[in-house]
Amino acid sequence: MHPLKRLMNPSSIAIFGASNNPMKMGSIQLANILETGFAGEVYPIHRSEETVMGIPAYKSIAEVGKQVDLVQLVLPTEVVPEMLEQCGQAGVRSAIVISGGFKEVPGDVGIERERQLKEVAAEYGIRFLGPNCVGIMNGQRSLNSTTIVDPPMGGGIAFASQSGAYTAMINPYLRAQGIRMCQTISVGNEADLDLADCLDYLRDEDEIKAVGLYVETIRRPREFIAAARETVRKKPVVAIYVGGTEAGSRSSLSHTGAISGPDELYDGLFRQAGVLRAADMDHMLDLLWILSMQPLPEGRRMAVITNSGGPGSSLAYHLEKVGMEAPAFSAALRAKLDAVTGALTYTGNPIDLTFETNIFIFKQLLELVFESGEVDGAFIYGIFGAPDFMVNLKKRLPELQAMESEWDTGYQSFLRELAEVSRMHAKPLVVMSFLGAGSVSIQSLIDSQVPVYPSASRSARAMRSLVDYAAIVGDLGDRREGL
């Protein structure tokens, strides 16, 4: 079994450094483990407290007296090696070392401490994440050992990161967009398990459809490239790298003791590894989202269907800017589309309906363009959800109150049918909308595996990543299995 498979799927966890003092990181992490629904055993280890957060505490790992699958250490730096040794003696084989103060701090003392830590781990056969990390999240186990409350678990995205903040603090952002993470791994200083190990592990996790990496350095380039190339045969890998500038390098060194190289070097490394490079976290999440949900297009020809001109023009502009096409439709196809929309609508691509047009015809239009074989994918901008427009009307026309649930139901099934059209034709669909995940309409789309972005450029870049990944898979002479 891969050491990360074991580490990410414990049946029992002991946590060192949690107490009844709420200002401690360990306390927040324990509260999150306890409240997120983890079904296994949880043992707080505390020198003096009888109970921590209402559950029995143990003076030492030995005192637990049962097999402990995983320990998480949130302790003052000096005592970490000793405590890890006690864990080893008690038969623990997986650890997460949250504590900082190792290689990332100025001077030699941190380097020496990290060496010590590795020595202890090696002696007892312990595989570990960290030091200087923030914990893990595994939605399949309802396990959240990080500092963040209520992470949006589920979905098909895994994220392994040299930044703890990006695995743990990003959650409000994910929630607003409706993105769910299946697994996150904070690797910290990577004294033992590193990003290459994460790729080896995540490659065989069937629920994971796309893997994201936050990179400040790659410590084992050869192994990384090999692990990535194997992984991208099965699922896309997207990475961001921020070590390539002068200040970025200074920052990485102080952050995880990472020695970073120039941007171009990493560009080349990612290309060689078949890894897509994203500019920043928000960009990477946009790509992982679509890559984890939508099928790959067979080409770059895209349809745009909209009921607002500005977003339609913007989508047409941005998809061309990123190297795709919005081809003019054939006369034969336009005749079919005109029969649905009426003569006053422009159907040449974009298909630009107007505000008052019955939005439910979008489904027929999408069917026609997909059936035509003239496009490889589609973008839709639509004003979904009459309820959002009806708030003031309902105050003025109280009889409308009764119609609301009817509208809601109508929209929800319409949107699911749109997603179904895309799935039937195995052509990717992206929706642009300013309504966030708080809208029931948008949530319906997301639940049907359709990603929704709030701008044309983000929609276009996301779709483009499917084209890019299709090219990578083609290059590698293989196809990933269906989503």
Beta strands 127-129; 94-97: pairing state: parallel
145 lies in the site for a copy of itself, by CB under 8 A? no
Segment 3-22, which members bind a copy of itself (CB under 8 A)? Answer: 20, 22
Q: Which uninterrupted H or E stretch holds 320?
A: helix 309-321
Q: To the nearest whole angstrom, how small is the minimum distance from the Cβ of residue 174 to a copy of itself? A: 8
Rounded-to-10 torsion of CA 198, 437, 149, 206? -30
Under the criterion CB under 8 A, does residue 330 sit at the interface with a copy of itself? Answer: no
Q: How far is CA 287 from the centre of its chain?
A: 9
Residues forming beta bridges with residue 379, ordered by sequence position: 304, 430
Interatomic CA distance for residues 185 and 211, integer angstroms: 11
Q: Which is nearer to a copy of itself, 267 or 420 (CB)?
A: 267
Q: Does 100 bind a copy of itself (CB under 8 A)?
A: yes
Residue 283 is a binding residue for a copy of itself (CB under 8 A): yes
| Binds a copy of itself by CB under 8 A, chosen from 371, 388, 404, 475 | 388
360 binds a copy of itself (CB under 8 A): no
Our finding on whether 176 is near a copy of itself (CB under 8 A) is yes
Give the nearer residue to a copy of itself in terms of CB position, either 91 or 436: 436
User: Smallest gap, in angstroms, from Cβ of residue 88 to a copy of itself?
Assistant: 27
Q: Which stretch, 87-95, 121-129, 221-229, 326-334, contacts a copy of itself (CB under 8 A)?
A: 326-334
Residue 297 as a binder of a copy of itself (CB under 8 A): the answer is no
CA–CA dist 208, 155 (Å, integer)? 8
Tell me how many residues contact a copy of itself (CB under 8 A). Answer: 108
Q: Work out which of 72, 292, 422, 439 binds a copy of itself, going by CB under 8 A.
A: 439
Helix axes 362-372, 331-341, angle to 10 degrees: 170
Q: Is 267 in the site for a copy of itself (CB under 8 A)?
A: no
Is position 238 an interface residue for a copy of itself (rule: CB under 8 A)?
no
Tokens of 427: 């052509």
Among 138, 184, 256, 422, binds a copy of itself (CB under 8 A): 256
Please state, as a whole number, how many other Cβ atoms lie within 10 Å of the Cβ of residue 394. Answer: 15
What minimum distance in Å lies between the beta carbon of 172 and a copy of itself?
5
- The number of beta carbons lying within 10 Å of the beta carbon of residue 159 is 27
Give Cβ neighbours of residue 269 (< 8 Å, ≥ 6 apart): 218, 221, 224, 225
Closest CA to 34 of 55, 17, 6, 59: 55
Choosing from 95, 238, 296, 319, the residue that interacts with a copy of itself (CB under 8 A) is 319
Q: Is 250 in the site for a copy of itself (CB under 8 A)?
A: yes
